[in-house]
Amino acid sequence: MMLVAVPIVPSACKTAGLTAWVCPMMTGNWRRLIKPNLPFIMAAKKMCNPFWNNALKRVINQTNDARLRVALVGLGHELCGDDAAGVMVARGLQTMNHRHVHVVDAGCAPENVGGELIRYAPELILFVDAVHFDSHPGTVCLFDVDEIQRNSPTTHALSVHLLVEYLRASIGCSIWLLGIQPAQMTLGAVLSPAVQNSVADVVRTLSVTLGNPSICGENML
């Protein structure tokens, strides 16, 4: 597994039955496509910034606020294999205990955390989610949410897109998406080895990047 230099709990059911199912699209974020749409994949490749940690640092440094407040929102369904990537990253970072970083495990209901995010009033929101962008499983990419919304061909992204518009109108913050390419999102499956390794690496990297006083301005508090 690698964070590469390229440009998105077992169920009680019997295992045999589980393999026949695809993870249900409960709220459907940007990545829940049973058959990824080719134009969307091509657009995502063009939008994706492969050196995601360096790109994130630039986004942070471009924010004109010495007391930068960051909200990290993990999305996904923990019973659907690699669809749980975002929530696992959020849970891994919930022990950070940095006063300028607020971590939210939104699960499959991103629309339910809008009020919490507005009360926190961050300058930067980073969504973390499983995203299909036709790369090797476990590949990590930073996406511009505006471009994702303009190019996504599916209405399954509606709940997240409405939340993004709501947040923009309410607090005018910068919003980005950190996507992890899934290997499988089968109901009842656990994280694939590649995505599990990526989740661990993302947690470690974000712990350093978001916890660095010289980047996030904690030395100014």
Quick one: which of 17, 8, 29, 23 has its CA closest to 184?
23
**Residue 165: what pLDDT?**
87
d(CA 28, CA 73): 15
User: Does residue 64 lie within any of the structural domains?
Assistant: no
Residue 75: the pLDDT is 92
pLDDT recorded at residue 164: 87
**Mean residue pLDDT across the chain:** 74
Average pLDDT for 83-99: 89
What pLDDT is attached to residue 145?
Answer: 82
**CATH number for the domain that contains residue 101:** 3.40.50.1450
Q: Is the residue at 212 inside a domain?
A: no
Q: Is 213 within the bounds of a domain? A: no
75 strand-pairing partners: 107
Element spanning 102, H or E: strand 101-107
Percent of residues, the chain, with pLDDT higher than 70: 65
- Alpha-carbon distance of 53 to 109, in angstroms, equals 27
Structural domain containing residue 158: 27-59+81-207
Higher pLDDT, 98 or 191: 191
| Burial of 205 (C-beta count, 10 Å sphere; 0-12/13-18/19+) | middle
Candidates 174, 138, 175; CA nearest to 160 is: 175
How confident is the model over 39-52, as a mean pLDDT? Answer: 59
Place 89 in a pLDDT band, splitting at 50, 70 and 90: very high
Tell whether 221 is covered by a domain.
no
110-169 tens-digit pLDDT:
888 999 999 999 999 999 999 888 889 999 999 888 766 555 533 335 567 788 888 989
Report if residue 47 sits inside a domain. yes
Task: Name, of 3-17, 51-65, 121-135, the range with top average pLDDT.
Answer: 121-135
Q: Is residue 150 part of a domain?
A: yes
The CA distance from 76 to 175, in Å, is 18
**Closest residue by Cα to residue 128 from 172, 166, 93:** 93
Q: Which long-range contacts (CB under 8 A, 24 or more apart) does 13-22 make?
A: 13/187, 13/188, 15/188, 18/186, 18/187, 18/188, 18/189, 19/186, 21/186, 21/187, 21/188, 22/185, 22/186, 22/187
What is the spatial distance between Cα 83 and Cα 69, in angstroms, rounded to a whole number?
A: 27
67 found inside a domain: no
Q: Structure pTM?
A: 0.76
- Quote the number of domains for the chain: 1
What residues have CB less than 8 Å from 32, skipping those under 6 apart?
A: 23, 25, 83, 154, 156, 185
Residue 21 lies in a domain: no
Instruction: Compute the average pLDDT of residues 84-101.
Output: 89
- pLDDT-derived band at 178, boundaries 50, 70, 90: very high
